[in-house]
């Protein structure tokens, strides 16, 4: 998972978005927040990058489990891995958002629900898609 990280935007969120099925009545076909946002910071990104370097180090061979423990990013890696798996199993899209300040889950619920009606917000949601 490659993310564009701006040093000025310290807080990052990964969210999973799903679409209500045809059986959902009035909400059929509408997007919604499937799982709570995973929050992490630029410090966490740096720790994951350090873990990645350890795994690639030919001189001091380190497996990925050891590397994430050594660098202290095992919790965020576990959360993101779980979200990635759950999103794949439930046919969700994953999106990355960055902010200068902490956001609440309600901010994402509102954004996604509003994107069902507002073309600008739908475009913003598409731009945040993690491929």
pLDDT at 119: 97
pLDDT at 7: 81
% of the chain beyond a pLDDT of 90: 89
Residues in the chain with pLDDT < 50?
Answer: none
pLDDT at 131: 83
pLDDT at 58: 87
SS (H, E, C) the chain: CCCCCCCCCCEEEEEEEEECCHHHHHHCCCEEEEEEEEEEEHHHHHHHHHHHHHHHCCCCCCCHHHHHHHHCCHHHHHHHHHHHHHHHHCCCEEEEEEECCCCCHHHHHHHHHHHCCCHHHHHHHHHCECC
pLDDT at 2: 64
pLDDT at 18: 98
**Tens digits of residue pLDDT in 64-87:** 999 999 999 999 999 999 999 999
pLDDT at 69: 96
The gap between the terminal CA atoms of the chain, to the nearest Å, is 8
């Amino acid at each position: 998972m490659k993310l564009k990280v701006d040093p000025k935007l310290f807080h990052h969120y990964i969210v999973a978005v799903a679409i209500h099925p045809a059986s959902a009545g009035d909400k059929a076909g509408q997007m919604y927040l499937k799982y709570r946002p995973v929050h992490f910071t630029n410090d966490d990104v740096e720790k994951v990058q350090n873990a990645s370097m350890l795994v690639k180090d030919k001189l001091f061979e380190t497996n990925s489990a050891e590397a994430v423990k050594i660098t202290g990013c095992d919790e965020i890696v576990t959360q993101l891995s779980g979200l990635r798996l759950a999103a794949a199993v439930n046919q969700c899209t994953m999106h990355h958002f960055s902010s200068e300040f902490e956001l609440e889950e309600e901010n994402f619920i509102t954004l996604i629900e509003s994107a069902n009606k507002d073309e600008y917000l739908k475009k913003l949601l598409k731009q945040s898609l993690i491929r």
